[in-house]
């Protein structure tokens, strides 16, 4: 199970909407327990240095600063997120090919249906995609 602070989801969504029609992206930081649950404490919106509607590259300087802040808060980098402005909330072939970290969470927000955003979380290992359930928590 993945627990996501509602206010952090709202931040992610707002950033993704502001970046339209380009893909938005960023990192997620938090903690994990022994049962394999992940707790996303903070969403970090970062610059998509590709400025593309179909690709993203995380700004390296922004990544460094985000990871530094996570460590300072006692969190760890849990993975990344990006938006799909015009396609479903699942990893594209390119997303799967570029998913080199099998321990990372990949969050994908689809904005394909205006007014009905869809966020899903995945683990990707050796080309195999596994969807993880997200539970939203408040406070």
Any contact of residue 22 with Zn ion (CB under 5 A)? no
Any contact of residue 57 with Zn ion (CB under 5 A)? no
The residues that bridge with 27 in the sheet, in sequence order, are 44, 80
Q: Which residues contact 35 (CB under 8 A, 6 or more apart)?
A: none
Q: Which of 20, 92, 98, 118 binds Zn ion (CB under 5 A)?
A: 92
Query: 37 phi and psi, to 5 degrees?
Result: -80, 145
| Helix extents (H) in the chain | 6-19, 60-72, 93-98
Residue among 8 and 95 whose Cβ is closer to Zn ion:
95
Residue among 75 and 119 whose Cβ is closer to Zn ion:
119
Residue among 40 and 124 whose Cβ is closer to Zn ion:
124
Interface residues with Zn ion (CB under 5 A) are 92, 95
């Amino acid at each position: 199970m993945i627990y996501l602070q509602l206010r952090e989801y709202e931040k992610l969504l707002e950033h993704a909407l502001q970046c339209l029609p380009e893909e938005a992206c960023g990192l997620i930081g938090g903690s994990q327990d022994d049962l394999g649950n992940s707790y996303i404490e903070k969403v970090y919106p970062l610059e998509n240095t590709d400025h593309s509607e179909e690709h993203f590259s995380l700004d390296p300087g922004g990544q460094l600063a985000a990871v530094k802040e996570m460590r300072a808060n006692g969190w760890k980098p849990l993975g990344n997120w990006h938006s799909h402005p015009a396609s479903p909330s699942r990893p594209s072939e390119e997303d799967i090919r570029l998913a080199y970290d099998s321990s990372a969470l990949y969050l994908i927000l689809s904005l394909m249906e205006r007014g009905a955003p869809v966020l899903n979380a995945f683990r990707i290992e050796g080309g195999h995609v596994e969807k993880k359930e997200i539970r939203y928590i408040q406070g």
